[in-house]
Structure 1
C-alpha cells in the first residue's frame, strides 16, 4: 500500500469514526426526549409533514405518539404538545419552565429576538409590565376605548350601507377597521377606509401572512437557511412587510419630533418618555430603546390587527352558512338593545347567545392553530422526559380548541359548546384561543370587546347573505399553517327590514 493510500485510509477511518460518534450522540440525546417518528439526515421529519398542511400533520402524528412527542424540522428538534391537559401544564402548571420564546425562523428574521413578544428574560419582563400598564392607562378596558371601537364599528356600518346591497368582499375593509383600533392605541391616529396608500400596505401585510401559512412558508420554517437561497413566493414574505415597518418608523420619528412629556398621546409617546427616564441610569442595560419600540409596535400591530379582522371575516361566513344563527342573534339584539341605542360592553353579560356565538366562532375558525413556539428557560423533566434549557416547544392551540374531551362535536360548529341547558353562557377551560399563563395574549380583553361590538353593531343593522346557496358555501380555510386563512367570499349586507325585498 502506498503512502497516499495509507493516508486516505486513515482519513476515511477518522471521518467514519466522527460520523459514528456523532450519530451515537444524536441517538443518546434523542432517547432522553419524548418519542416521535425517526428523522432522516438533513430532511428531519419533512416526509411526515409535507402533505396535509402543518397543523393537520402534527395532529395526525399525535394519534400514534400521544400528546407529547418530538419532531424534527430539518435538523431542528421540536417538542410538540397537544391536548388541553398537556397545554395547561405547559402554560400554567410548569409555566416558568416554558416561559421563553422559542425559535420561529420567519419571526427570528423579522424581529431578531427584540420587542414584546420575541424577547426573553428580564428584557421581556420589563417590556411586558410596561406595556400592560401603559395600555391600561391609555384606555384598554375603559369606556374611552369602548367609545372609539363603537365609532369604528359605525364607520363599517356607513361603508356597508353605501354599497346599496351590492355584493362585496369585506376582508380589506375589516382589516382596515381592525387596524384603526391598534393605530389609536399605539400611534394615536386613524386611517380612512379610502386611503389607498394605507390599504395597499395592509393588503401586502395580509399577503405576507398568507404566504407564511402556505406550503412555501412552511418549507421556509423547515429549512430556513436552504430556502433563503432558493427562489419562490417565500422570498416575498419579508419584502411585503417593509411598507408597514416603514410606516411604523415614520410614526416613531414624528413622535420624537413632537413629543410633549407632560401630555403623552399614545403608546409611542409613553415609550419615548420612559426612554428619556432610562438615560439617567448610565451604564445599566435597558430594553427601552428605539429597536425594541419599533419591534414591539410592529408585533402588536400585526397580531392585533390580523387576529380580529380574520375572526370577524370567518364569523360572517359562518353566519351566512347558518342563517338560523342570525335570526337568533337578531332576536337577542332586539330584546336587549333594540335597533336605536348603541350596544355597550356591559350588554355582553345580558346576551348569552351572542357571547356563546362569538366564542364558538373563535373556536371553530381556529385562526392561529399553532401557538407561537416556546422554549424551556431551564432544564426540566416533563412527563418523565428530560428537556434541557433552550428546548423548542410547539403548543398546538388547535388541539385544545378541538379536544373531544371538552367539546362535544369538535369538528363541527356547535354553539352549545358555550351554552348550558338553560341557555346561559358556560365557560370552557379548553378555550385557549389566546393561549394562557404569563405569555397570554396581552390584548385579550381588547380583542374580546372589539369582537363583541363589531359583531353586535353590524348585526344590529344588517342581515348577511351570499350570492350562493348557504348549503353549498365552502368556508374551509384556503391556507392552513401559521394562520387559517378564510376564503374570499362576496357578501351582501342587507339593511334589516328590507330582507324580503332583496
Structure 2
C-alpha cells in the first residue's frame, strides 16, 4: 500500500511538473522570447538552485551555462539577469529609458514604504523625488566648495579621534560611520554631532544592522502605488540619503583600510605621493586628486575589488524590449550584476586580485575603465556618486597624511574575503593601530 501511495504521489508530481512547464512555455511564447535559463520548478521557480550564502557565485555559474543574458524564475515571476560588462552597459546606458524603472526586493519595498523615497520609487514619483533630492543637495552645497570644506572639517575631527587611541588596536567601524554620517547631517540639518552623542550612536547602530540585514534579502517583483509627491516620500528620501550615504561610504573606507593593511607596499606608495603632492602642513583638497594618479587608482581599485553591492539594485523594463535576440516583456525585473562588470576579465587583467594597475596606464597616469561601475549606470545611477568620491578621497588622504597603519596580527593572516556576501559584501571584523607620522 505504501509503495502504491508513493508511486501515485510521484506520478501526480510529474504530471503537475509537466503541465506547469507546458503552461510556462506557452506563456513565454505569447509574451515573447525570453533569454534561456534553467527550467523552473512549480511554485518555487529556480530558488532551490541558488546558494543564498554566495548568490553571485550561483548566478555566475548559471551565466557560464546560459550566457551573459539569461532568465531565472523567483517563484512564478521571471527575472532577467545581466552578467557581463557589455550586457549591463548595453541595457543601462545604451537603452537607459527602457531599463530605467526600479525592480523590487521584499525588504526594499518595506524600507521604501511600498515605493516611496528616491531608491524604491518609480514613474512620476521617482522623477519628483530625484529632482527634489538633486535640488536639495545642490542648495546645501553639493558640488561646491562648501561641501568640500565640511568633509575636510570632519576629516580633521576623525583624525583627532584616531589620535586619542594612542596607537592601541581599535575596530574602525563606528569611527567611519560617525564621520561619514556627520557629513550627511551637516547637509541635512546644518550641524554635526559629537562622536559620543548617545542618540547619534543609536541611529548609526540601527543603520548598520539594517544594511547588514539587507545583504541577504533580494526577491521578486511587487506592485507599486500610483505616483504622488508627499511628506512620506520626502521622509523616505531623507532616510535613503542617510542609509545609503552613511553605510556604503563607511563600509568602503573600512574595507579599504583592511586592504591597505594587507598590502603595506601600496600604503607606502600612497604615503610618498601624499607627501610629494600635499605635504604635511595643509589639509588635502579635491584639486589634489588630479596630481595624485596612484592614490586615485587605489581608491578606484578598492571600490572595484570589494564589490560592495554585487547584485546591483534591480531594474524593471518600462515596455516590451527587444534586447539582443530576445524580447523582455514590459514589467519584467532585471538584475544588472555589478559584480560581473567589476570582475569582467575583458576589462581587468587580474579581476580576482587587488591591483591598482587596473587604473594606471604604462606611464603611471590614471586610466579610466568601462568596467568601473560601483555606482551602477544610466538613469538610476547613484545620486551620491560625486559626494561619495569626494569623501573617499579626502578621508583616505587625510588619514594617510597623518598616520601609518599597523595590524596587530601578521598581514598574511588578514582575510579579505567578505564576512557576508549577499546584497552587499561586508569585511570581516579586524583591529588596527593608527601610528602618528
Task: Settle same-fold status: TM greater than 0.5.
Answer: yes
2:256 to 294, 303, 315: 315
Residue by residue over 1:293-329, the C-alpha shift from the partner in whole angstroms, topping out at 9 and shown as x without a partner, is 0111111211111110010001100100000111111
Counterpart of 1:88?
Answer: 89
CA distance in 2, matches of 1:358, 1:123: 34
Match of 1:483 among 421, 424, 431: 424
Superposed, which structure 2 residues align to 1:109-120 within 5 Å?
109-111=110-112, 112-120=114-122
Query: Aligned partners of 1:122, 1:105: CA distance in 2, in Å?
Result: 22
**Partner Cα separation in structure 1 for residue 346 and residue 250 of structure 2:** 30
Q: Where does structure 1 lack aligned partners over 5 or more consecutive residues?
A: 1-15, 225-284, 497-502
Q: Is the 8 A contact 1:46 1:222 kept in 2?
A: no
| Shift in alpha-carbon separation, 1:61–1:340, aligned structure 2, 3 A | same
Contact 1:101 1:119 in 2 (8 A): yes
Give distance in 1, aligned partners of 2:145 and 2:394.
13
CA distance in 2, matches of 1:329, 1:129: 38
Question: 1:34 aligned to 2:35?
Answer: yes
Match of 2:215 among 213, 216, 220: 213
Q: Deviations over 1:37-87 (max 9, x none)?
A: 111112221222126511121112111111000112222321000111100
Give the conservation status (yes or no) of the 8 Å contact 1:74–1:223: no
Q: Secondary structure at the match of 1:477?
A: coil
Partner of 2:380: 439
Partner residue of 2:3?
Answer: none
Structure 1 residues 76, 124: CA separation in 2 closer, same or farther (over 3 Å shift)?
Answer: same
Q: What is the alpha-carbon distance in structure 2 between the residues aligned to residue 462 and residue 92 of structure 1?
A: 41
User: What is the CA deviation profile of residues 239-264 of structure 1, one whole-angstrom value per residue up to 9, with x for unaligned ones?
Assistant: xxxxxxxxxxxxxxxxxxxxxxxxxx
Deviation at 1:212, TM superposition (A): 2.6
The superposition leaves residues 449-481 of structure 1 with CA deviations (integer Å, 9 ceiling, x where unpaired) of 110000000000001111111112112110001
Cα-to-partner distance string for 1:253-307 (whole Å, 9 max, x where unaligned): xxxxxxxxxxxxxxxxxxxxxxxxxxxxxxxx98431111011111121111111
Structure 2 length normalisation: TM-score? 0.91
| Number of matched pairs | 417
- Secondary structure at the residue paired with 1:390? coil
- Alpha-carbon distance change, 152 to 121 in structure 1, aligned in 2, over 3 angstroms: same
User: 1:173 aligns to what SS in structure 2?
Assistant: helix
Q: Select which of 272, 293, 313 maps to 2:234.
A: 293
Does residue 410 of structure 2 align to residue 469 of structure 1? yes
Q: Deviations over 1:81-105 (max 9, x none)?
A: 0111100111111111111100111
CA distance in 2, matches of 1:390, 1:182: 34
**Take 1:328 and 1:164, find their aligned partners in 2: how far apart are those partners?**
25
CA distance in 1, matches of 2:158, 2:136: 28
Distance in 1, Cα, partners of 2:351 & 2:407: 26
Q: Determine whether 1:139 maps to 2:137.
A: no
Counterparts of 1:336-347 in structure 2 under 5 Å? 336-347=277-288
For 2:123 and 2:394, locate their aligned partners in 1 and report how far apart those are by CA, in whole Å: 36
Greater C-alpha Rg: 1
